Chains A and B, each alone.
Chain A
Amino acid sequence: MRQRKIIPGVDPRLLIKDAAALMPEASRRGFLRGAASLGALTFLTGCDIIDGDTAEGVLRKISAFNDGAQAALFSRSKLAPTYPESAITRPFPFNAYYDEDEAPEVDGGTYKLEVAGLVDNKKPWTLEQLHALPEVSQITRHVCVEGWSAIGSWQGTPLSEFLTRIGADTRAKYVWFKCAEGYSNTIDMPTALHPQTQMTFKYDHKILPRAYGFPMKIRMPTKLGFKNPKYVVAMEVTNTDRGGYWEDQGYNWFSGL
């Protein structure tokens, strides 16, 4: 009972099921089906606005507008709240669109982080080289798009520091991340340069376990959980929005906190 109180709204047994609930319906056509099912809204069913593609188009346009609104609200100097060690949620939940035993197993020995796009030095990085980078630590709140949240402890190097080292053109608009399991997402450059945006190699001062994204995740306490990629194998500095796994399915692109 007390366990449940620690993360309001999270039943640990349901986490996997919750992740499954994030998944799109088998029939993507049904995106907005049931849209008018709220009794009092049925009078709208005659309108185009509530029907499938038109409504989805309008809603996605508003979502794009919301990206702009959130970017305008975003401040690079506004830090996410940090917490004491005692506030860490234990165990920190595993969350993905697959079961924990299906999480990618990356071989740290042969791992190389590929760097591409608008950067001076495209030399790939071994894990040993990455681990030698200066280390910072943060205890911040991970907020899931589903609503639940959990506080975790992450260590790694600021992404802005790494971008400087590889001679990235920080006037570019985006940084794109590719992950071992095929996941990907694109973030805005201001977030990439935020002081708390971290290339994470450790969780709670121990090498990142497989469940939390070994060998590297990108921790952004200013973005919803799904915008924090795990098992990152490549990054690209680019002016092209390359979308992302959930974003392409209708989740808001900016997803800032």
Chain B
Amino acid sequence: MSAETAVGGSQIAAREAIHPAWVRVTHWINAIAILVMIGSGWQIYDAAPLFEGLRFGKSISLGNWLAGALLWHFAAMWVLAINGLVYVTLGIVSGRFRRKLLPISPAQVLADAKAALSFKLSHEDISRYNAVQKLLYAGVILTGIVIVLSGLAIWKPVQLQELTVLFGGYDVARYVHFFAMAAIVGFLVVHVALALLVPKSLRAMITGR
């Protein structure tokens, strides 16, 4: 009886919070881990650039030289992967992904994108995502999975060679890893800009409300 009340109580609390504690904690751990991964990844990229003329340079990258960057990259990978695994597992098990991100209809995405670009999109209820948000959040979660798997394929092309084959081989996996990074950086630019434009969304990710 009392257990039931406790469960009921926490469910009400969870419904009240826009972002439950596990979302906020994993979000900020992920934020730090992904910045370390991107910063050190840029330094690693510079050691053997994939594109002529594209170098990130030391001033915006992490680790100072290749060995330092690799130390950061292979330390933060544990944080990124374990935290990501916790987040995705809880997102699926709790039903949050299904509730918040699905369904995504292409027509609704187009309509909401138009509304957003003409600044007509409502931000009254930030607990409900519009179709563009749904698409971007679902997309970045999938990209996160791709970047971890392609990273493993590059790191262990012998022990995990089946995975490397899945990505089209070692050299192709490097490009996949790079473009997944580019997609995440692109997402981050939009995500951070919008969080600053709608400050209550930033507050909700800190305090839950």
Look across to chain A and name the residue whose beta carbon is closest to the beta carbon of B192: A40
List B contacts of A8 (CB < 8 A).
50, 171, 174-175
| B71 touching A62, Cβ below 8 Å | yes
Q: Which of B44, B46, B49, B170 contacts A143, CB < 8 Å?
A: B170
Residue A81 CB within 8 A of the other chain:
yes
Q: Choose from A22, A41, A149 the contact partner of B66 (Cβ within 8 Å).
A: A22
A37 at the interface (CB under 8 A from B): yes
Identify which of B58, B65, B156, B159 gathers the most chain A CB atoms within 10 Å of its CB.
B65
Residues facing A in B121-164 (CB within 8 A) are 154, 156-159, 161
Q: How far is the CB of A4 from chain B (nearest CB, A)?
A: 8
Confirm or deny: A215 has a beta carbon within 8 angstroms of a beta carbon on chain B. no
Tell whether, in the assembled complex, residue A40 and residue B64 are in contact, meaning their CB atoms are under 8 Å apart: no
B52 at the interface (CB under 8 A from A): yes
Secondary structure type dominating chain B contacts: helix
Taking a contact as CB atoms closer than 8 A, the residue among A23, A78, A252 that contacts B70 in the complex is A252
Q: Are A222 and B61 in contact (CB under 8 A)?
A: no
B30 → A minimal CB distance (Å): 13
Interface bits A17-51 vs B (CB < 8 Å: 1, else 0):
01001111100001111110111110010000000
Interface majority SS (helix, strand, loop, mixed), chain A: loop
The one of A9, A22, A41, A257 that contacts B35, using a Cβ cutoff of 8 Å: A41
Query: Given A8-B50, A10-B48, is A251 in contact with B63 using a C-beta cutoff of 8 Å?
Result: no
Given contacts A10-B48, A149-B171, A249-B67, contact A62 B74 (CB under 8 A): yes
Cβ-defined partner of B39 (8 Å) among A38, A141, A148: A38
For the complex, is B118 an interface residue (Cβ under 8 Å from A)? no
Q: Is the CB of B48 within 8 A of A18?
A: yes
Contact of A37 among B44, B48, B59 (CB under 8 A): B59
Interface residue total, chain A, C-beta cutoff 8 A: 55
Q: Does B156 lie within 8 Å of A73, measured CB to CB?
A: yes
A75 at the interface (CB under 8 A from B): yes
Give how many B residues have a beta carbon under 8 Å from the other chain's beta carbons: 40
**Given known A-B contacts A10-B48, A59-B75, A257-B156, A30 and B174 have beta carbons under 8 A apart:** no
Q: Do residues A143 and B48 form an inter-chain contact, with CB atoms below 8 A?
A: no
Nearest CB of B to A9, in Å:
4
Q: In the complex, which residues of chain B have a beta carbon less than 8 angstroms from the beta carbon of A222?
A: 158-159
A221 interface residue (CB < 8 Å to B): yes
Task: Return chain A residues, CB-CB under 8 Å to B35.
Answer: 38, 40-41
Within 8 A of B (CB), among A237-257: 246, 249-252, 256-257
Give chain B residues whose Cβ lies under 8 Å from the Cβ of A39.
60
A24–B64 alpha-carbon span in the complex (Å): 9
- Within 8 Å of chain B (Cβ to Cβ): is A85? no
Q: Are B64 and A60 in contact (CB under 8 A)?
A: no
Q: In the complex the two chains form, is B159's CB within 8 Å of A256's CB? A: yes
Is A63 an interface position by the 8 A CB rule? yes
**A87-B47 Cα distance, complex, nearest whole Å:** 24
Residue from A44, A62, A147 having most chain B Cβ neighbours under 10 A? A147
**With contact pairs A78-B158, A81-B158 given, residues A9 and B65 touching in the complex (Cβ less than 8 Å):** no
Chain B residues with CB below 8 A from A148, complex form: 48
The distance in angstroms between the C-alpha atoms of A183 and B39, with both chains bound, is 31
Given contacts A35-B62, A62-B74, A149-B171, contact A24 B159 (CB under 8 A): no
- Nearest CB of B to A183, in Å: 16
Chain B residues with Cβ below 8 Å from A53 are none
| Choice from A37, A147, A257 contacting B62 with Cβ under 8 Å | A37
Known: A59-B72, A59-B75, A149-B171. A41 touches B64 (CB 8 A): no
In the complex, A17 Cα to B78 Cα: how many Å? 31
Give bound CA distance, A126 to B52, whole Å.
Answer: 46
Question: Are A41 and B36 closer than 8 Å at their CB atoms?
Answer: yes
Residues of B within 8 A of A21 (CB): 46-47, 65-66
B158 adjacent to A256 (CB under 8 Å): yes
